[in-house]
Amino acid sequence: MDSRRAILEALRRAGAPAVPAPPHPAPIRYADPERQFAEALVAVGGRFFRAPDAAGLSAQLAGLEPFASARRMVSLVPGVGRSDLDLSQAADPHALEGLDYAVLPGELGVAENGAVWVAGDRLPLRGLFVVPQHLAIVVPAGALVHTMQDAYARISFSGRGFGVFVSGPSKTADIEQALVIGAHGARSCAVGMVG
């Protein structure tokens, strides 16, 4: 028997008995998922708005300085904000340069971390959630789940085959623990829950 085989045989003889996997923890269920979502969103630097309809949300966003002063804005949500750029004519993400504000549709919100799933097939250009200086994401009130596990059970990758979870504005921190907001993307992120 060569040394390799001898070592492998020794390892097999010394192997520990099989151990069953631990039980899966019970899924988290929040008594008030909307409140949990709002608190989690604020904790990651976002702002939460609640409105009965698109017009009500638009009126609330108008109170935000970045929304009110935006020179160039794109909205993919009817009735919220305006569109100064015709995205059907923008085949290149460079067309988004100088975009101050984007209003995007969210598919669902996650209560445990304040994240919103934005489906890629609803974005004409992938850069729409990265290039604008500020974001607002609109989520239907009935599209709130408790956990990321619940979210993954609901999302699909049909169409363009991508999507993103957005959790507040862009953030990064270095080894000196200096947190920078807006380093790689939007400097602010408001989430409006409508319905």
Q: What is the pLDDT of residues 11-44, one digit of tens each?
A: 888 888 888 888 888 889 999 999 999 999 999 9
Q: How confident is the model at residue 174 (pLDDT cuts 50, 70, 90)?
A: confident
SS3 of the chain: CCHHHHHHHHHHHHCCCCCCCCCCCCCCCCCCHHHHHHHHHHHCCCEEEEECCHHHHHHHHCCCHHHHCCCCEEECCCCCCCCCCCHHHCCCHHHHCCCCEEEEECCEEECCCCEEEEEHHHCCCHHHHCCCCEEEEEEECCCEECCHHHHHHHCCCCCCCCEEEECCCCEEECCCCCEEECCCCCCEEEEEEEC
Q: How confident is the model at residue 72 (pLDDT cuts 50, 70, 90)?
A: very high
Q: Which pTM does this prediction carry?
A: 0.85
* 118-145 average pLDDT score: 93
